[in-house]
Amino acid sequence: MTVANARASVNDASAITITPQSPTIGAVIGGLDLSCDLSDDATAVIRAALLEWKVLFFRDQDITTEDHLAFGRRFGELEIHPFGQGKSGHPEVLAIQHDEDSPGYENIWHSDVTWRLQPSLGSVLRLVEAPDIGGDTLFADMYAAYEGLPNDIKETIDGRVARHDFAGFRRGLRRRGATDEEVAEFDAKYPNPEHPVVRTHPETGRKAIYVNRAFTEEIVGMDKEESDALLERLYAQASFPEYQVRFSWAKNSIAFWDNRACQHYAVSDYWPQRRSAERVTVIGDTPYYDAEQIPVETTASPFRGAILRANRS
């Protein structure tokens, strides 16, 4: 997909511009006013761009909560987060606020809600209040992360599954005084799912690493030492700058990311300043691995140099 230069009315698909921010991940979307309804054609352009660039950025979108919800619903049903603080009157909107008394803690590579049996398709986050400096978010292309692995590691992980858990949220429940019975209710409602270590994207057919430091507990069928060592190797793949894009927020900036294809890391470097955001999350499907599924489109990796030499088997 190339950068568009057409000029047309607001939210006409032909007016949309797509400006890549790195070779494989991240693009700024222009020519849209998200306070207005999206046409079916405009929605299709955005979805195609999301599949290609994994995360999309929108600037200067002064929208209402209703606009935010309407945009998210163009891509599927929205979830209600069982552990986060919902916005009053809008349970699908997750309110995320950090300040002097509540420092940021999302500074860990992760894909959202992989502790669900059906984790999310994607998340749409709008920044309501930005710190004067800091508070960026990094996104990592987990297709590239998988493709950059040595062949022997790919052979080891292809077809395997890993157990995921909401352990951090469970600890939060206990800190807030939840009883054993209340915690047991959450355990029963959200049993530990086993997701493929390498996920096949249902729309692109591409393979991506689908374990993350926040929610993955173990690779099933391996002893703890082997599982821990292999997971550390896979987690480290997100840390290569070649696989990343970094987004600097401003008030009314929006990011829409594909949780099936990328991970993200919210930089916690702005304390004691205030950072306030609102997120809606689109419900996804059951992750799977299919060795036979052929990707819709393949391109040669642009990454060379030491990163390629280090990952040769």
Domains within the chain, CATH numbers bracketed: 13-310 (3.60.130.10)
Q: Contact at 8 Å (CB) between 1 and 225?
A: no
For 12-57, the pLDDT digits (tens) are 888 899 999 999 999 999 999 999 989 999 999 999 999 999 999 9
Among candidate residues 116, 201, 275, 279, the one labeled active-site is 279
Secondary structure (3-state) at 190: coil
Among candidate residues 110, 116, 195, 206, the one labeled active-site is 110
213 is an active site residue: no
Query: pLDDT tens digits, the chain, 313 residues: what are they?
Result: 444 433 334 578 888 999 999 999 999 999 999 999 899 999 999 999 999 999 999 999 999 999 999 999 999 999 999 887 888 899 999 999 999 988 888 889 999 999 999 999 999 999 999 999 999 999 999 999 999 999 999 999 999 999 999 988 898 889 889 999 999 999 999 999 999 999 999 999 999 999 999 999 999 999 999 999 999 999 999 999 999 999 999 999 999 999 999 999 999 999 999 999 999 999 999 999 999 998 887 777 888 766 666 555 4
Name residues whose C-beta falls within 8 Å of residue 250's C-beta, 6 or more positions apart in sequence: 59, 127, 130
Among candidate residues 112, 141, 165, 258, the one labeled active-site is 112
Spatial CA neighbour of 141 closest among 230, 257, 248, 249: 257
Spatial CA neighbour of 52 closest among 84, 89, 26, 91: 26
112 is an active site residue: yes
Spatial CA neighbour of 25 closest among 146, 112, 141: 141
Among candidate residues 81, 195, 199, 264, the one labeled active-site is 264
264 is an active site residue: yes
258 is an active site residue: no
Predicted structure pTM score: 0.92
Strands, DSSP E only, in the chain? Answer: 17-20, 27-30, 55-58, 86-87, 90-98, 120-129, 137-141, 161-164, 194-196, 198-200, 207-209, 216-219, 244-247, 254-258, 262-266, 275-283
